[in-house]
């Protein structure tokens, strides 16, 4: 029984693995992988109060899904849209780019807030003003988090996202009229696996089906075990009762010429053999009028249940 249980468990395990593999590789339900790159963001400016250069460098940005993965740099520019809109959504949005005194036009990077329009609209509005890159800072509710950005059709302009805190840090300095230089570098490549909704549903159905099959098998197994144990107990009990009854039958030794027993004529009703003198026999009552006798049969081994007593 142990090896049967192990074999059945192995079959169930292989079945579960087969269902899981089928779920993951079923047509139309393939898992997909998202690849994205972090961005190394460097900030540099001169503090007018101390005349000291402030620098910081951190891998705190994330390249947009459709952005070229390449370096970019420039002075930070912020939108000058009517009403002070920081999102830079309008096609004619102009940007304020503080520049160091005595320097002419230089590459610049647009810093805009998330929201108000699509990432594509933001990137195109900055590209029309010849920005070399666009830095989108996230909403305040997301804190230090960044998110993926889809902006197909924006060409060769570099687009990254930084957290709200990093964006506000840069914006506060620029709004004071201090020129801020931003450098963007390629960070770490990340690959994140996703399973489609169809695969999740299929795996759930396969798991539930496997659980139902296992539960049905367990119920069947324990019912069979209960029936087998009951039959064994009943059989043993019946055997004991039969042995007890047979043990209570009268014993008699056959003698030659004994009255009522003709050794040459009478035979054992069970063994179907003739009695011999000095055989020890048991008296078996049968139909109240006849005496049937039997003795041990060395050539015949019958279960005790074969003897129906009291017939």
What's the pLDDT tens digit per position in 196-226?
A: 667 778 788 888 998 999 999 889 888 888 8
User: Could you give phi then psi for residue 60, rounded to 5 degrees?
Assistant: -110, 0
Decide: 276 and 263 in contact? Cβ < 8 Å: yes
Domain 32-194, second-level architecture = 3-Layer(bba) Sandwich (3.50)
Q: For the full predicted model, state whether its pTM sits above 0.75.
A: no
CA-to-CA distance for 216 and 223, rounded, in angstroms? 11
Least confident of 90-104, 176-190, 199-213: 90-104
Q: How large is the angle between the packed helices 197-247 and 2-25, nearest 10 degrees?
A: 170
What's the pLDDT tens digit per position in 2-51?
A: 444 544 545 455 555 454 544 444 444 444 557 899 999 999 999 999 99
What's the pLDDT tens digit per position in 237-283?
A: 667 777 777 776 677 676 776 655 544 445 566 666 666 777 777 76
Tell me how far the alpha carbon of residue 170 is from its chain's centroid: 43
Decide: 199 and 21 in contact? Cβ < 8 Å: no
DSSP SS3 for 215:
helix
Give the tokens for residue 176: 């004071």
- At 32, which helix (H) or strand (E)? strand 32-47
CA-to-CA distance for 167 and 261, rounded, in angstroms? 121
* Integer angstrom CA distances of residue 197 from 18, 23, 24, 30, 204: 20, 11, 11, 10, 11
β partners of residue 189 = 37
User: Could you give phi then psi for residue 296, rounded to 5 degrees?
Assistant: -65, 135
**Per-residue pLDDT for 86 more than 60?**
yes
Which sequence spans correspond to the domains of the chain? 1-29+196-248, 32-194, 249-311
More confident site: 154 or 230: 154
User: Could you give phi then psi for residue 27, rounded to 5 degrees?
Assistant: -60, 135
Q: What does the CA dihedral 303, 308, 310, 311 come to, rounded to 10 degrees?
A: -150
Give the tokens for residue 186: 């390629």
**What are the helix and strand counts (H, E) for the chain?**
4, 11
């Amino acid at each position: 029984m142990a090896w049967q249980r192990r074999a059945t468990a192995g079959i169930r395990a292989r079945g579960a693995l087969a269902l899981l593999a089928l779920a993951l590789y079923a047509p139309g339900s393939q898992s997909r992988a998202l690849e994205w790159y972090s961005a190394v963001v460097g900030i540099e400016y001169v503090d007018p109060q101390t005349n000291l250069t402030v620098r910081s460098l951190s891998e705190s940005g994330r390249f947009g899904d459709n952005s070229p993965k390449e370096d970019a740099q420039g002075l930070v520019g912020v939108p000058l849209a009517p009403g002070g809109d920081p999102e830079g959504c309008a096609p004619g949005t102009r940007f304020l780019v503080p520049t160091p005194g005595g320097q002419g036009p230089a590459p610049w990077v647009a810093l805009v807030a998330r929201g108000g329009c699509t990432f594509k609209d933001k990137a195109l509005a900055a590209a029309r003003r010849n920005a070399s890159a666009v830095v989108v800072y996230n909403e305040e509710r997301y804190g230090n988090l960044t998110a993926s950005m889809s902006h197909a059709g924006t060409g060769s302009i570099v687009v990254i996202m930084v957290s709200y805190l990093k964006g506000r840090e840069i914006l506060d300095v620029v709004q004071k009229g201090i020129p801020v230089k931003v450098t963007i570098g390629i960070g770490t490549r990340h690959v994140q696996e996703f399973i489609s909704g169809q695969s999740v549903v299929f795996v759930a159905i396969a798991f539930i089906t496997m659980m139902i099959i296992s539960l049905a098998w367990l119920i069947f197994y324990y019912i069979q075990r209960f029936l087998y144990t009951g039959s064994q107990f009943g059989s043993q009990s019946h055997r004991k009762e039969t042995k007890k009854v047979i043990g209570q039958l009268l014993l008699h030794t056959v003698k030659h010429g004994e009255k009522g027993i003709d050794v040459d004529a009478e035979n054992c009703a069970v063994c179907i053999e003739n009695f011999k003198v000095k055989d020890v026999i048991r008296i078996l009552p049968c139909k109240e009028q006849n005496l049937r006798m039997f003795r041990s049969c060395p050539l015949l081994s019958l279960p005790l249940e074969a003897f129906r007593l009291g017939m």
